[in-house]
Amino acid sequence: MEMTPALPDFSEWLRGDRLAAEEKIWLEGEHYEWNLVHVRKALAALGSRPKVLELGCGTGNMARSLVDEVEYLGVDKNPEALEMARAKSSAMFLEDDLRHFSATADLCYSFAVLKHFGLHEWDSLFAHVLSLAPNHVHQLQVTNGESFDDGVNWHSVWLNKTHLLDLISKYNFILNDCALAWSGAKGEEWVIQLQQAVQA
């Protein structure tokens, strides 16, 4: 696996006019509706008002849809995005770095977030993320070839499919569902639903 130099976090780049432009794209698309389908599918297997953790919650669009159904906590490193999030709903938001953040939840999810961490730290970050909850939904970029990072201003990681599946098994999780978000010349984007394996 070829390692690339560390780039600035996406949250450091996505400020001011860039954040406003990105928010417009997010709201005009159907991304959140599609993401909610996957989160609610995972929630259906849990009890009443489960504890839910959103990593990289951004401007709070997912939180606004879920706050009345779950005990929600959104985490993001971008203070400008969190200011927008707090204006949208009464959900709980925390400014923190996902690398060091610690909490427990029934379900942890992220969309278009984990791909923005470099290959030099990705495996350890994924292990940390999986330690936060027994159930997960995450959107990831995958490829049939060797893992690579084609980011310029920030990281944009593509994971080798076999390597990803090996990591899931290594950390004692089961792949319950895998939905194809899109595919292209570089690879595919998956939304994976994971559940911690029951110890014998």
CA distance 45 to 40: 9
Q: Residue 55: which H helix or E strand, with range?
A: strand 51-55
pLDDT exceeds 90 at position 155: no
Strands 135-143 and 157-160: parallel
Question: Domain residue spans in the chain?
Answer: 10-196
pLDDT per position as a tens digit, 17-74: 766 667 776 766 667 788 999 999 999 999 889 999 999 998 888 999 999 999 999 9
Residue 199: the pLDDT is: 67
CA distance 142 to 157: 8
pLDDT per position as a tens digit, 107-140: 999 998 999 999 999 999 999 999 999 999 999 9
Split at pLDDT 50, 70, 90, the class of 13 is low
Residue 59: the pLDDT is: 86
Residue 99: the pLDDT is: 92
pLDDT exceeds 70 at position 103: yes
Pick the CATH number of 10-196 from 3.40.30.10, 3.10.150.10, 3.40.50.150, 3.30.1490.270: 3.40.50.150
- In the chain, the N- to C-terminal Cα span, in Å, equals 33
CA distance 173 to 184: 28
Residue 176: the pLDDT is: 96
pLDDT per position as a tens digit, 139-150: 999 999 999 998
For the whole model, what pTM was predicted? 0.89
Q: What is the mean pLDDT of residues 170-196?
A: 96
